[in-house]
Amino acid sequence: MAELAINIAGLNFRNPVTTASGTFGYGEEFLDFLDPDQLGGIFVKAVTGKNRDGNAYPRMAETTGGMLNSVGLQNKGIDHFCREIYPKIRNFNTNIMVNVSGSTIEEYMTVAERINELDDIPAIELNISCPNVKLGGMAFGTVPAMAREVTAAVRKVYHKVMMVKLSPNVTNITEIARAVTDGGADVITLINTLLGMAIDAETQRPVLSTITGGLSGPAIKPVALRMVWQVHKAVPVPVIGLGGIMNATDAIEFILAGASAVQVGTANFIDPQASIKIIRGIEEYLTRHNISSIRELIGALRTDV
Amino acid sequence: MVFKKNIGDLTVIRNLRLNQRHFLLELQSEKPFPVMLPGQFVQAFVKDAPVTFLRRPFSIHAVNFTQNILKLLIQIKGEGTRHLSTLREGEKLNLIFPLGNSFTIPHTKEVLLIGGGCGVAPLLFLAQFLNQQQIKPSILLGFRTKDDIFEIEEYSRYGKVFISTDDGSEGEKGLVVDHSLFQKERLPFKKIYCCGPEAMMKFVDRIAKFHHIDCEVSLENTMACGFGVCLCCIAPTDKGNERVCTEGPVFNTKRLAGW
């Protein structure tokens, strides 16, 4: 049997398949469909300093090969997470990573500091890339100096594995990747959603209440693959790739491009068992290609003629 | 109440075209059904439809628990539903079910169900369920025209049916809220269950509130997942934005902000 286990920044993953923040709730919502302990890890829904009600309805538009959302980081805040959610999920036998969001550097620091105290959360994913909030979010992830500043500030108060999730809405992704690496990121996750919009021609109005939103799903996979490949070559830190992964072949493509692990996102909405099927599919791929460990495949893209 | 969610293929045993815009799918499961209650819905996977990406939510129209048959009443609205309308007997349809909450059991026998258009769908299951509680509801169904009317005999098995059509081609002319049932000083109902276009439900709710009648509505909403994780299908309530797929789709109108 091929080896699926992998170590990323000192953290052991039983396989390279994790679930993306905002698409997997807090994990509990999937207990009727799968055993979370079979996953490499779970990135839980974004947590902010205070309760956020998110954006007005409509927040979703189906598009060709994907969907737009403008949820806007709806969550009940860090106190609620620590008190109500954490006790319910801390005993999952998989890596539980929390997506940390905010409008100010202080808010990111406050949330990260609180999560640092939670024994069973081995890592955070700093979300400097949400396109659906007016303040902060993506603003931090599109200017290199700001990306470095917020990463370095959180680094001071967070002492476990710090991942930083990048926005694809930039001209040069490697600049941002270098900036967060300088700021102390242990791992880079990418990509968050691509800024997009949908219009209803009949009503001559935007579909989303926020006019623009974040595009996810297979439509964005080629962009995500390109960025994972560029970042993998540009920085020494490991990369976790996401963007439109629907099946094991998609996951393998990200790993070949340089991802040490992948996140399954929008696919969870259509097939809540997608992540488990992807694990089985990767296993079959490795066996079929006579590869003994998934590690051999990371960045193994053949670009020779 | 927490329901165990299932995911699996059901077999199409009948696809009946009711009129130009509506069809009825009868689906059979090999496995016994889980507990399902009226108001709950399914998420159907539209296979091989090139431009349909997400599942499509449909309320449960009727259930036969002894034969493991589930019925969906579907209005053709876009590519996804058009594709489903072409399903043939023997083909499979992948469903996640049952999803969402349900209508509550009334503390009265004086019950009125109001449906408009495709919103009549969950009311058949509800009427069937109420009969099991020894309640014979009044059922008011609104359609655009006579040709849109379907399955009246099904509803009639469970209660007294009243019809209104926009053009008066069947039953009373006008909207459901214009029906003579409401032209009384005191209405003989203590509970209203309503499903249909939002404007209609808001009209019904105004009448209900005027007469101090408790009213539950089933909200329609665009959904991505349908099981509570994407946070796309929200409705403003007295507790902030709640998920229509999980805290709903049935809400008591007392709890809906702006109603």
Q: Nearest-CA distance from A183 to chain B in Å?
A: 31
Strands A41-47 and A17-19: parallel
**Using a CB-CB distance cutoff of 8 angstroms, which residues of chain B are in contact with residue A64?**
51, 53
Q: Nearest-CA distance from B43 to chain A in Å?
A: 9
Strands B172-173 and A199-200: unpaired
**Using a CB-CB distance cutoff of 8 angstroms, which residues of chain A are in contact with residue B99?**
none
Q: What is the pLDDT of residue A71?
A: 94
- Separation between Cα atoms, residue B225 and residue B205, nearest integer Å: 29
Q: What is the pLDDT of residue A247?
A: 98
Instruction: Find the chain B residues whose C-beta atoms sit closer than 8 A to any C-beta of A.
Output: 4-7, 45, 51-55, 96, 221-236, 240-241
The token pair at B80 is 């996804």
Residues A165 and A177: beta-carbon distance below 8 Å: no
Would the CB atoms of B224 and A65 count as touching at under 8 Å?
Answer: no
Distances (CA, A) of A297 to A95, A137, A282, B223: 22, 33, 11, 37
CA A200 to chain centre: 30
Average pLDDT on A118-142 reads 85
CATH architecture of B6-99: Beta Barrel (2.40)
Domain ranges of chain B: 6-99, 111-211, 219-259
Would the CB atoms of A64 and B5 count as touching at under 8 Å?
Answer: no
Residue B132, SS3 per DSSP: helix
Candidates B141, B151, B20; CA nearest to B77 is: B20
Q: What is the pLDDT of residue A57?
A: 93
Q: What is the pLDDT of residue B50?
A: 82
Would the CB atoms of A270 and B5 count as touching at under 8 Å?
Answer: no
- A137 pLDDT exceeds 70? no
Q: Nearest-CA distance from A59 to chain B in Å?
A: 5
In a domain, A303, yes or no: no
Q: What is the pLDDT of residue A304?
A: 87
Residues spanned by the domain of A254: 6-297
Average pLDDT on A203-221 reads 97
- A305 pLDDT exceeds 80? no
Q: What's the first-to-final CA gap in chain A, in angstroms?
A: 32
Average pLDDT on A263-284 reads 98
Q: What is the pTM of this model?
A: 0.95
Residue A93 pLDDT level (bands cut at 50, 70, 90): very high
Would the CB atoms of A24 and B7 count as touching at under 8 Å?
Answer: no
Q: What is the pLDDT of residue B48?
A: 87
Candidates A219, A292, A216, A301; CA nearest to A252 is: A301
Provide the number of CB pairs (under 8 Å) joining chain A to chain B.
Answer: 85
Rg of chain A, C-alpha, whole Å: 18
Catalytic residues of A: 130
Average pLDDT on A230-244 reads 98
Would the CB atoms of A273 and B228 count as touching at under 8 Å?
Answer: no
In a domain, A1, yes or no: no
Query: By CA distance, what is A61's nearest residue in B?
Result: B222
Average pLDDT on A231-235 reads 98
**Which of A127-141, B186-200, B210-224 has the weakest average pLDDT?**
A127-141
What dotted CATH number matches B111-211? 3.40.50.80
- Give me the numbers of helices (H) and strands (E) for chain B, helices first please: 4, 15
**Using a CB-CB distance cutoff of 8 angstroms, which residues of chain B are in contact with residue A23?**
225, 229-230
Domain B219-259, CATH class in plain words? mainly beta
ipTM of the complex: 0.93
Maximal CA-CA distance, chain A: 56
Q: In A125-160, which positions are buried (b, 16+ CB within 10 angstroms) versus exposed (e)?
A: bbbbbbbbbeebbbbbbbbbebbbebbbbbbeebeb
- A218 pLDDT exceeds 90? yes
Which of B241, B245, B247 to mutate: most A Cβ within 10 Å? B241
Distances (CA, A) of B60 to A14, A113, A118, B41: 40, 46, 42, 5
State the Cα angle at A98 between A93 and A102, rounded to 5°.
170
Strands A66-69 and A212-216: antiparallel
Q: Nearest-CA distance from A165 to chain B in Å?
A: 19
Mean pLDDT of chain A: 96
Rg of chain B, C-alpha, whole Å: 18
Interface check A268 vs B, CB under 8 A: yes
Would the CB atoms of B55 and A24 count as touching at under 8 Å?
Answer: no
Candidates B190, B105, B123; CA nearest to B162 is: B123
Candidates B203, B217, B214; CA nearest to B256 is: B217
Would the CB atoms of A33 and B225 count as touching at under 8 Å?
Answer: no
- Separation between Cα atoms, residue A253 and residue A125, nearest integer Å: 23
Pick from A29, A51, A64: CB nearest B51: A64
Would the CB atoms of A25 and B228 count as touching at under 8 Å?
Answer: yes
**Using a CB-CB distance cutoff of 8 angstroms, which residues of chain B are in contact with residue A53?**
240-241
Count up the domains in chain A and report the number: 1
In a domain, A302, yes or no: no
Looking at residue A224, the DSSP 8-state letter turns out to be H
- Separation between Cα atoms, residue B43 and residue B59, nearest integer Å: 9
The token pair at A218 is 């297979």
- Separation between Cα atoms, residue A113 and residue B2, nearest integer Å: 34
Pick from B6, B54, B233: CB nearest A270: B54
Residues in chain A: 305
Residue A3, beta-bridge partner list: A293
Residues B111 and B38: beta-carbon distance below 8 Å: no
- A134 pLDDT exceeds 90? no
Query: By CA distance, what is B242's nearest residue in A?
Result: A53
In a domain, A169, yes or no: yes
The token pair at A190 is 């990418």
CA dihedral over A116, A174, A193, B8, signed as positive or negative: negative
Containing A133, the helix (H) or strand (E) segment is none
Q: Name the CA dihedral angle for A131, A132, A138, A142, rounded to a multiple of 10 degrees.
A: 40
- Separation between Cα atoms, residue A192 and residue A128, nearest integer Å: 9
In a domain, A171, yes or no: yes
User: Where in B22-137 does DSSP place strands (E)?
Assistant: 22-28, 41-44, 56-64, 69-75, 92-99, 111-116
**Could you give the residue ranges of the DSSP H alpha helices within B214-256?**
none
**CATH number of domain containing A61:** 3.20.20.70
Distances (CA, A) of A55 to A67, A74, A203, A213: 16, 8, 21, 11
Pick from A29, A30, A65: CB nearest B53: A65
Residue B1 pLDDT level (bands cut at 50, 70, 90): low
Looking at residue A237, the DSSP 8-state letter turns out to be S
Q: What is the pLDDT of residue A201?
A: 96
Looking at residue A274, the DSSP 8-state letter turns out to be H
- B219 pLDDT exceeds 90? yes
Query: By CA distance, what is B232's nearest residue in A?
Result: A59
Sheet with B191-195, side-by-side order of all strands: B172-173, B160-165, B138-143, B111-116, B191-195, B214-218, B250-252
